[in-house]
Structure 1
Amino acid sequence: MIRLLLILFNLQVRFLMKVHSFVRNKATEADPALKFSNFLYFLFAPTLIYRDHYPRTKTTNWKFVARCFLQCLSVLFIFTVVIMNSYPTPEQWCQKFTPNDILLIVMEKLPYGILVVTGIFFLIFHSVQNLFAEILRFGDRLFYQDWWNAYSFSIWLSKWNKIVQDWLYYYVYRDFREFVCDNGALAKLVVFVVSFGVHEWIMYSWIGGFFPVMFVIFMGVVFPLTFCEFPKWTIFNILVWFCGVFFINLGLLLCAFEHYALLNAPLENPALWELVCPRFITCDCVLR
């Protein structure tokens, strides 16, 4: 049920972003004539930027389609094995923890976090996007760039997901600077707020409650670091890798704590402060 909700929320967000792109593009055209076939193609194409025409390949390579599909199944199988054998069971989530225990769990699961992060990237941004692109003969395959070579957080975030990055640039960053305020730093802040606000909306479908841990981590730590320019040294590339995986792993594990706390100790007639305060702390899963 949780997996189904996550899929539905992701599809909902994707559809809303596509509709905004379509309306934004057609509203500024002198001749907003629309062929329904173009709009229908756009709904399934691996892009969030609407165009009447896209570069197309001549044929569909069905062997490549089959390979991408097998890659998706392989990654999902690996995820199942890793999560079932390396992460705590639902019963273990509700035992008593100290803050040191939580930090120890995060550090112990860091190698698995690397596998999860790279697996999510490979599944969503490589296999799935190339699968749909090949079936639809979509020619523009720049879904990501070499984020693994990034030596700063700004480069890592801009290269990790080019599909969403392009949408944020065209319809949030550029529009904000053109129509609201021509300030690059402020526009960048708005991009982060919109991006991670949507991430929290999706996470809400998994957790079942308000728990903006990813928003706090990325707005409080990662966002200030995007203004820092580091030398192109290997040590900074390793640091970006470690911090990125650590923060994502920390966020996912804390979300799991909150999810099982709400599941095993649900609130009855909660006050406003109880809705905002993390449940895994107030239900005494964490020893003070």
Structure 2
Amino acid sequence: MQHRETDQNLSIIVGRNSGTRASLVGSDEYKEFSTEIEGTGTSEIDQSFPQSEIQDVPVEVIRTKINSIDAKHRHTRVKKPKRGESTSESTADGPNYRSQFGDIKFLETSTTIFDADYFKDSEMYGIYVLFWLATGFLMVNNIVHAWIDQSAPFYQLPVVQVLRKDLWKVALVDCLMYLSTYFAYFVQKLCKLKVLNWQRTGWFIQGTYDFFFLLFWSLVASEHILGFPWIGRVFLMLHSLVFLMKMHSYGFYNGYLWTISEELEFSEKYISRCTPDNHSVSPEKDLDEHKQTLLNSIKFCKFELAFQASANYTSNDPNVILDGPSVKFPDNITVENFFWFSMFPTVVYTLNFPRTKRIRWSYVGEKVLAVFGIFFLMIIIAQKGFYPLILQARAAKTLPSGLKVQQYFLVLIDMIPYFLLEYIFTFFIIWEFILNVIAELSCFADRDFYGPWWSCSDWGEFARIWNRPVHKFLLRHVYHSSISTIRLNSFQASIFTFVLSSLVHELVMFCIFRTFRGYLLLLQMSQLPMMMIAKTPLMKGRKTLGIVVCWVGFISGPSIICTLYLFF
């Protein structure tokens, strides 16, 4: 049994050094000098690899495993020298380590694009002000007409009644769903107490819980159990996806650090027994090579734990805290730490987040008022624009095929302007207002929620900057994980990530319309050939044409999808 456990521990180290020896987050190049940082927290990890088990391992097993570790360390942990650079030059300051999951940094900025000083000082700011003036006039127009025409009170509108139905039940279910996310914390706590081992059982428990978490709460919110209206179902579905991403990132980030910590402890114990007098541990002729291999493992593991505990951001913003206490692994496994992560407007976990020094209550009040104002406008547009068209679409479903197709195009043309307004308002209410309010109340400094998607000239760029928090999650936990775990190449990993994202979007459509048609899946997958076309000579250098193509998709895409589900 002891032989088998030690063999498994050595195999884990070998496996971890296969492919690219990777740091989980941060820069793509790391210098070895950082491994000298003290306080990596390894002394706080309990004894999980008894030294007595090392003495009884056959020499052949040790020799094979150590040689494998050494070979893969040289090929994967250490960054290869650049073209024209000798190996001695590249390692003059110590070898560079390569990041497995790419460069995901939390920015120090405390403003979004539309709040930034550079935008307010630009010549485009007047158009932004004009847009909100037009929005204000639209709101006043609807209020005046509602008063003069003496129509039904606002709260009695059909759309508002759907919003109000089961409101408190939805809130209660959402609260219970949030509390159930603390399961991810308890798994890590059990790992810290050595009740669970992440590599053996922890990852499987967390992954299984992630799957059944989404399945259970989707069923609870469905019409078959609680019978919530479609708005309540969609809200719970989207929120469950947010919670799912948070749990997954928290669990597997800490799980990665558990594997690094255990490798470090095992390597430190093993190297201490690699002595000329201990031939049962290492053959004398291979002693130096074995010690160097274990030393490389120790250096990388110490570096990784120290780097993850260091702040991976800098700032010139006086509102951002730079000298706050640094959380080290596994000191981060606390209820308080998980609570704050659950409050932050991000779905990617790390040990230390950029924080602001104070809450700007006037800023919060401004954003909250904007939320209610935009929400009021969205209800009016839904009531006066969408509601009659939806009734028209339902009536047309019983018509003959020829008339149905004719009605389809009429409804589609009428729906496009309303959907465009709702599309823009949805962007503002979520990414500009709600996320900023949450970030301000939680003192979360990184406001990089979106990029200038309105100037995108290809769909690949749009996918990266439309929803930056989710893009970062997909980049780390889907794209890079599929490369490191199931050995996909970069192209296959991109396709896999895109298909998974499309399936999740189709799941939301199923939640709304209670039927699977695949229209959204098909249209979203059609972006792949469009991305390829954008890289051809036909489109290169023609940014205006690319922007036009993207905006045609923004304008027509949502309306086409909605009307397809309504009619067919």
Normalising by structure 2, we get a TM-score of 0.44
Match of 2:358 in 1: 59
Distance (Å, rounded) in 1 between the aligned partners of 2:360 and 2:339: 22
Tell me how far 1:166 sits from its aligned partner.
Answer: 0.5
Match of 1:45 in 2: 344
- Tell me the amino acid that sits aligned with residue 136 of structure 1: S
Alignment partner of 1:20 is 2:326:
no
In the alignment, is the contact (CA less than 8 A) between 2:450 and 2:467 conserved in 1?
yes
1:204-223 aligned at under 5 Å gives the runs 204-219=510-525, 221-223=526-528
Tell me how far 1:239 sits from its aligned partner.
Answer: 1.7
Alignment partner of 1:246 is 2:246:
no
Tell me how far 1:232 sits from its aligned partner.
Answer: 4.1
Gaps of 5+ in 1: 258-279, 282-288
1:115-194 aligned at under 5 Å gives the runs 115-194=421-500
Tell me how far 1:181 sits from its aligned partner.
Answer: 2.9
In the alignment, is the contact (CA less than 8 A) between 1:106 and 1:253 conserved in 2?
yes
- Tell me the amino acid that sits aligned with residue 71 of structure 1: A
CA shift digits 1:57-109 (9 cap, x unpaired): 00000111111111111221111111211225353222235223313322332
Distance (Å, rounded) in 1 between the aligned partners of 2:243 and 2:463: 22
Match of 1:284 in 2: none
SS of the residue 1:196 aligns to: helix
In the alignment, is the contact (CA less than 8 A) between 2:393 and 2:411 conserved in 1?
no
Match of 1:94 in 2: 394
- Tell me the amino acid that sits aligned with residue 509 of structure 2: M
- Tell me the amino acid that sits aligned with residue 502 of structure 2: F
Judging changes above 3 Å, is the alpha-carbon distance between structure 1 residues 57 and 232 closer, same or farther for their aligned structure 2 residues?
farther
SS of the residue 1:158 aligns to: helix
Provide the aligned length of Structure 1 versus Structure 2: 257
Judging changes above 3 Å, is the alpha-carbon distance between structure 1 residues 99 and 185 closer, same or farther for their aligned structure 2 residues?
farther
Gaps of 5+ in 2: 1-228, 262-328, 397-402
In the alignment, is the contact (CA less than 8 A) between 1:204 and 1:210 conserved in 2?
yes
1:99-114 aligned at under 5 Å gives the runs 99-114=405-420
- Tell me the amino acid that sits aligned with residue 124 of structure 1: I
Distance (Å, rounded) in 1 between the aligned partners of 2:428 and 2:422: 10
Distance (Å, rounded) in 1 between the aligned partners of 2:391 and 2:552: 29
Tell me how far 1:175 sits from its aligned partner.
Answer: 1.0
CA RMSD of aligned residues (A): 1.7
Match of 2:544 in 1: 234
Tell me how far 1:253 sits from its aligned partner.
Answer: 2.7
Match of 1:197 in 2: 503
SS of the residue 1:226 aligns to: helix
Judging changes above 3 Å, is the alpha-carbon distance between structure 1 residues 232 and 137 closer, same or farther for their aligned structure 2 residues?
farther
Structure with the greater alpha carbon radius of gyration: 2
Distance (Å, rounded) in 2 between the aligned partners of 1:253 and 1:238: 23
Judging changes above 3 Å, is the alpha-carbon distance between structure 1 residues 56 and 146 closer, same or farther for their aligned structure 2 residues?
same
CA shift digits 1:21-70 (9 cap, x unpaired): 00110001124440211111111110011122211100000111111111
Q: Which moved more, 1:237-246 or 1:227-236?
A: 227-236
In the alignment, is the contact (CA less than 8 A) between 2:393 and 2:408 conserved in 1?
no
Distance (Å, rounded) in 2 between the aligned partners of 1:111 and 1:56: 40
SS of the residue 2:380 aligns to: helix
Alignment partner of 1:3 is 2:231:
yes
Tell me how far 1:211 sits from its aligned partner.
Answer: 2.9
Distance (Å, rounded) in 2 between the aligned partners of 1:103 and 1:168: 36
Q: Which moved more, 1:128-137 or 1:29-38?
A: 29-38
CA shift digits 1:162-216 (9 cap, x unpaired): 0100000001111112222342221111111111211222222221222322111
Q: Structure 1 residue runs of 4+, over 4 Å off? A: none
In the alignment, is the contact (CA less than 8 A) between 1:72 and 1:128 conserved in 2?
yes
Report which structure shows greater RCO (CA 8 Å, sep ≥6). Answer: 1
Match of 2:378 in 1: 79
Using the aligned pairs only, state the percent identity: 24
- Tell me the amino acid that sits aligned with residue 77 of structure 1: F
In the alignment, is the contact (CA less than 8 A) between 1:38 and 1:53 conserved in 2?
no
